[in-house]
Amino acid sequence: MRGAVTAQAPAKVNLLLQVGPLREDGYHDLVTVFQAVSLHEEVTAAPAREWGISVESADGTDVSGVPLDSSNLALRAAQLLAERRGVDEAVHLHVRKGVPVAGGMAGGSADAAAALVACDALWQLHSGLDGLAALGAELGSDVPFGLHGRTAVGTGRGEQLVPVLTTASFAWVFVLGTAGLSTPAVFRECDRLRALDGASAQPGDGRLEAVELALRGGDAEALGRALSNDLADAACSLAPELGRTLAAGRAAGAVAGLVSGSGPTVALLADSPAGAQRLAAELAPVVGPGRLRTATGPVAGARVLEPVAS
Ligand code: C5P
């Protein structure tokens, strides 16, 4: 058996997030387009006498909000894999976070995805991507995408994935929120606002096709026009600073901006990696220190990081 295995998994941004009606199981039917971006969580799984988890930040941000008990999604993922595959060994997981905590970028789901891949390798289970994704779907709607990565259309709760052809790399600037937003609270607010408006979800309105076309053409301007998020109004209602951040991003020259997932991170699309650097430099004095990340997407899903030979 290997001594310890480290795996990484990416953050995601939803290029499209169409929210359908509330289902009986408490979830909403979604039509979404995920893109994996180059902010990563790293999880190291090491054999241990007892189950345990520790967390550090890769970039100096506050990680005190991450639970260190059995509610942690990475720990739940490792324990679920052990239980289903009859593994009677505990591990200690060490998480190195490069994805904003509670930011609407699926950092917790990336932890679960990386933990599944790391433990699968450590225990030499050879579960395969689909096997791990089926387990991941039990843990959270975004976990299967963290495993698959790249760009994909998600339906159902977001866990049913079909890859999307993308012919270019896109450059992003992410502006971190100043406080976390709870995903269930944002979905509830979306339902409340819709009930007030008498509005309902409008699937099949051509928005998905517009995103797919822009991705296929590798066209950042077209993608910028096609980005949309049905949770944006709800997230802005709960965290009004998001509207101001979006306006600041546009004023600073972003091709387009949108709330990432359920927020409070704002995703700004740039025309190139150099454009993203310029945008971040322009925004730094406006949004304050430590709140900007640049990234590109799509990137690969969860994978084992081979140890560097010394
Ligand atoms: O599946 P996950 O744990 O990531 O979802 C967190 C919460 O987000 C759910 O409990 C639910 O309130 C909300 N959600 C939803 N519809 C989805 C995905 C998530 O209402 N498709």
pLDDT in tens, 203-252: 568 999 999 999 999 999 999 999 999 999 999 999 999 999 999 999 99
Is residue 62 annotated as a catalytic residue, yes or no? Answer: no
Rounded alpha-carbon distances, angstroms, from residue 42 to 58, 110, 141, 262, 305? 9, 9, 20, 23, 9
Tell which wins on pLDDT, 196 or 209: 209
pLDDT-based confidence at residue 199 (cuts at 50, 70, 90): low
Rounded alpha-carbon distances, angstroms, from residue 108 to 10, 13, 148, 175, 288? 10, 14, 15, 18, 25
Q: Is the pLDDT of residue 308 over 70?
A: no
CA-30 nearest atom, ligand 1: 21
Mutate to test the pocket of ligand 1, among 16, 105, 135, 141 (most ligand atoms within 8 A of CB): 141
Question: Of 179, 246, 258, 241, nearest to 17 (Cα)?
Answer: 258
CA–centroid distance, residue 183 to ligand 1 (Å): 7
> Which residue of the set 97, 111, 120, 142 is catalytic?
142
CATH architecture of 170-297: 2-Layer Sandwich (3.30)
CA dihedral 59, 235, 279, 168 (to 10 degrees): 90
* pLDDT tens profile 113-150: 999 999 999 999 999 999 999 999 999 999 999 999 99
- The yes/no answer on whether domain 5-163 falls in CATH 3.30.230.10 is yes
Radius of gyration of the chain (CA): 19
Q: Is the pLDDT of residue 1 over 60?
A: no
pLDDT at residue number 164: 97
* Mean pLDDT across the chain: 95
Evaluate whether 5-163 and 170-297 have a shared fold.
Answer: no
Tell which wins on pLDDT, 12 or 3: 12
Q: Whose CA is nearest to atom 3 of ligand 1?
A: 140
Is residue 130 annotated as a catalytic residue, yes or no? Answer: no
Rounded alpha-carbon distances, angstroms, from residue 121 to 2, 47, 142, 247? 8, 12, 21, 45
CA–centroid distance, residue 80 to ligand 1 (Å): 19
pLDDT at residue number 200: 64
Mean pLDDT of 175-198: 91
* pLDDT tens profile 98-122: 998 888 999 999 999 999 999 999 9
Whether 187 is in the pocket of ligand 1, judged by its Cβ within 6 Å, is yes
pLDDT-based confidence at residue 2 (cuts at 50, 70, 90): low
CA–centroid distance, residue 32 to ligand 1 (Å): 13
CA distance 77 to 87: 13
pLDDT at residue number 204: 64
Question: Of 206, 133, 154, 205, nearest to 14 (Cα)?
Answer: 154
Q: Whose CA is nearest to atom 9 of ligand 1?
A: 184
pLDDT at residue number 306: 82
Backbone angles phi, psi at 181, to 5 degrees: -120, 135
Whole-structure pTM over 0.80, yes or no?
yes
pLDDT at residue number 62: 87
Prediction ipTM score = 0.95
CA–centroid distance, residue 3 to ligand 1 (Å): 36
* Strand, coil or helix: 64: coil
Q: Is the pLDDT of residue 202 over 80?
A: no
Q: Is the pLDDT of residue 201 over 70?
A: no
* pLDDT tens profile 29-73: 999 999 999 999 999 999 999 999 999 999 988 898 899 999 999
Percentage above 70 pLDDT, the chain: 96
Strand partners, 8: 42, 303
Q: Supply the DSSP symbol for 233.
A: H
CA–centroid distance, residue 232 to ligand 1 (Å): 16
Whether 12 is in the pocket of ligand 1, judged by its Cβ within 6 Å, is no
Mutate to test the pocket of ligand 1, among 30, 183, 191 (most ligand atoms within 8 A of CB): 183
**Strand boundaries in 104-219, DSSP class E:** 151-155, 160-163, 170-175
pLDDT at residue number 277: 97
pLDDT at residue number 279: 98
CA-108 nearest atom, ligand 1: 4
Q: Is 61 exposed, middle or buried (0-12, 13-18, 19+ CB in 10 A)?
A: middle
Whether 275 is in the pocket of ligand 1, judged by its Cβ within 6 Å, is no
> Which residue of the set 12, 97, 230, 233 is catalytic?
12
pLDDT at residue number 51: 97
Domain boundaries, the chain: 5-163, 170-297
Question: Of 9, 31, 189, nearest to 107 (Cα)?
Answer: 9
